[in-house]
Amino acid sequence: MTEFEYHDYIPANARIIVSYGKGEPVKFSYPVEWTYRKAVWKRAYPTITGFWLSIHLVPLVYIFIFGILPIFVGTVLAFPWHVMEGTTSVTTSVTTWADSMRILKLELTGISSLLVYLYLVPAVITYYLSLDKDRLARWMPKFGAWSAKIIGGFKEIEYTSKDVINNVVVLPSFNNVYLHYDANGDFEKYLEKVEVMEIPFNFKKRRFLYPFDSWKKQYNEWFFRVVFFFKQTPINGSMKVEFR
């Protein structure tokens, strides 16, 4: 099997056909024909940002629970409060109003800096990788897979001979983010072709503010399925598929 690397677009939501034993190249195509620049910022940037956020997820939770939240609550409690003593209103202030606003300003500055760090750094990484299409094509699948592994949510299924119908096994739907299959025995021996394609259906998308006004019919380009083709029905062995 010879390999073919698709260079024109980034490998996201790709249709893939892998044929074994026929000397055919691996075929890639894409449901959305954007320009390269648009594809970079519509697909690569969100993927890299997702990875960047995922590696900061646990630290951010700790920062929020043990850092931002206590400071915010302390700031609220620091505002002047009133105590009624008989018919006289007495104002007791833990800190001055200026001090409270200064603390709140520092909090907002810290949050803003954090957001800039979380979203600007991925933009710089995306721009650097996009300068070389081959480089972006190599790294994009890795970022997607790493992000999926960190966040979790993987599903795993093991197919046996009873799951093979007409020499075909179908994984009905997955997100086209991560797919790994490991065949052994007859499943490895007879595996002939693997296809990753969109589930074929059309739909009409309605806008929120105009529920009775339909957009034009659109073809599904987000929900995919995997079809495994075998030369003949496997009897022995199995095939484990991990996907998300």
pLDDT tens figures, 162-205:
999 999 999 988 877 778 899 999 999 999 999 998 888 877 77
Same domain, 159 and 239: yes
Same domain, 225 and 131: no
Q: What is the dihedral of CA 66, 67, 68, 71, to 10 degrees?
A: 100
pLDDT-based confidence at 106, cuts 50/70/90?
A: low
Q: Which residues of 189-214 are buried (b: 16+ CB within 10 A; e: fewer)?
A: ebbebbbbebeeeeeeeeeeeeeeee
Same domain, 124 and 171: no
Same domain, 140 and 162: no
Residues 191, 237 contacting (CB under 8 angstroms) = no
DSSP-assigned letters across all residues of 187-206? HHHHEEEEEEEE---EE-PE
CA 31 to CA 23: how far, in whole Å?
25
pLDDT-based confidence at 234, cuts 50/70/90?
A: very high
Evaluate whether residue 36 is within a structural domain: no
Evaluate whether residue 1 is within a structural domain: no
Q: Find the mean pLDDT for residues 97-103.
A: 63
Total structural domains in the chain? Answer: 2
Tokens 């890795």 appear where? 142
Tokens 């996201």 appear where? 12
Same domain, 145 and 64: yes
Same domain, 169 and 113: no
Domain encompassing residue 97: 46-149
Same domain, 107 and 58: yes
Question: At CA 39, angle to CA 36 and CA 40, rounded to 5?
Answer: 85
Same domain, 161 and 196: yes
Among 116, 149, 182, where does a domain finish? 149
Q: Which of 168, 174, 178, 181 is nearest to 197 (CA)?
A: 174
Q: Each residue of 110-146: pLDDT tens digit?
A: 677 777 888 889 999 999 998 988 888 788 878 887 8
Among 131, 149, 167, where does a domain finish? 149
Q: Find the mean pLDDT for residues 65-71.
A: 59
Residue 234's SS3 state is coil
Which H/E stretch holds residue 130? Answer: helix 97-130
CA 81 to CA 86: how far, in whole Å?
16
In this predicted structure, which of 24-33, 73-82, 184-193, 220-229 has the lowest mean pLDDT? Answer: 73-82
Same domain, 65 and 145: yes
